[in-house]
Amino acid sequence: MNTKEKIFEVSLDLFSKKGYDSVSLREIAEEVGIKKSSIYSHYSSKEEILMDIFNQFTSGFEIDDEEIQLSENNPLLENPELFYHKGSEAIKEMLFQETNLKIWKLILIQMHHNEIIKSFFENEILVKPLVFWEGLFTLLKEKGVIRKDSNPKLLAKQYYSFPIYLLLEICSKYDDIPQEVLEDFFSEAEEHAQFLFESVKVR
C-alpha cells in the first residue's frame, strides 16, 4: 500500500467512526505515520480526501440497465422472489467488502453536511429504487401475478423500507459490523420480502 492509499484507508476509518468534521489532517497524518505537510503531495484538502472516498463508492454503484430492464418479457417477472434474491446478493457482495461498509456509514453521517453526498443519497438510495420497485409491482399487477387491488407505490415503500431500517439499525449499534450480523440482516430482509409478496400474490 503506497502513501496515498494509506491516507485513503486511515481517513475512511476515522471519518466513519468519528465523523468528517471531528477528524483533522494532523490526526490523519499521525495515524499514517507521516507529517501533515506530506498529505498535500497527494490531496489538496481534507474535503478532497472525502470526495475521493465518496467517488470510489459511487463508481461501483451504477446499475446495469439491462439487468433490471422492466419489460413484460423479462423472465424474472415470472419469479419475483428470485428477482429480489438476485438484487439482494449483489448488495451483499458490495457490503461484505469492509471499505464499502465504512463508506456507507460515512454517507449516513455526512449527508447532512455535504450537498453532493446528500443529493446522491436522495436520488440513488431513496428515489430511484422506489421508482424501480413501483414499476415492477405495476407490471406484476398488469400480468396478474399480484392482486388487482394491490397498490404498487405502497408495496414499493414497504418492500424497500424494511431493509433500509435494518441497515440503519445495525449501523447505529456497531462501529465494526460483524459478518454474522450482516448475514442475519440479509436473511431477515429476504424473509420480509417473501412475506410481503405472499400477502398480495394471486393464488
pLDDT digits (tens, 9 = 90+) for 95-146: 778 888 888 888 888 888 888 889 988 988 888 888 888 988 898 898 888 8
20-48 pLDDT, tens per residue? 889 999 999 999 999 999 999 999 999 99
Residue 7 lies in a domain: yes
The phi, psi pair for 179, rounded to 5°, reads: -60, -40
Helices (H), ranges, the chain: 3-18, 25-32, 36-39, 46-59, 80-95, 98-110, 115-120, 128-142, 152-173, 179-200
Decide: residue 144, CB within 10 A, 0-12 exposed, 13-18 middle, 19+ buried: exposed
| Cell, residue 124 | 440513488
80-96 pLDDT, tens per residue? 777 677 777 777 777 77
Residue 127 lies in a domain: yes
Same domain, 37 and 82: no
Q: Nearest-CA neighbor of 159 among 71, 87, 52? A: 87
Q: What is the pLDDT of residue 75?
A: 61
Same domain, 191 and 131: yes
Same domain, 93 and 165: yes
For residues 65 and 8, the model is more confident at 8
Same domain, 97 and 188: yes
Q: What is the pLDDT of residue 176?
A: 78
For residues 67 and 133, the model is more confident at 133
Average pLDDT, whole number, for the chain? 85
Same domain, 97 and 123: yes
Interatomic CA distance for residues 76 and 83, integer angstroms = 6
Residue 55 lies in a domain: no
Residue 73 lies in a domain: yes
Residue 155 lies in a domain: yes
Distances (CA, A) of 136 to 15, 51, 157, 190: 37, 33, 12, 17
pTM: 0.74
Domain residues for 175? Answer: 60-200
Residue 54 lies in a domain: no
Q: What is the pLDDT of residue 78?
A: 67
| Cell, residue 203 | 393464488
Interatomic CA distance for residues 184 and 193, integer angstroms = 14
Name the 3-class secondary structure at 179: helix
Q: What is the pLDDT of residue 175?
A: 76
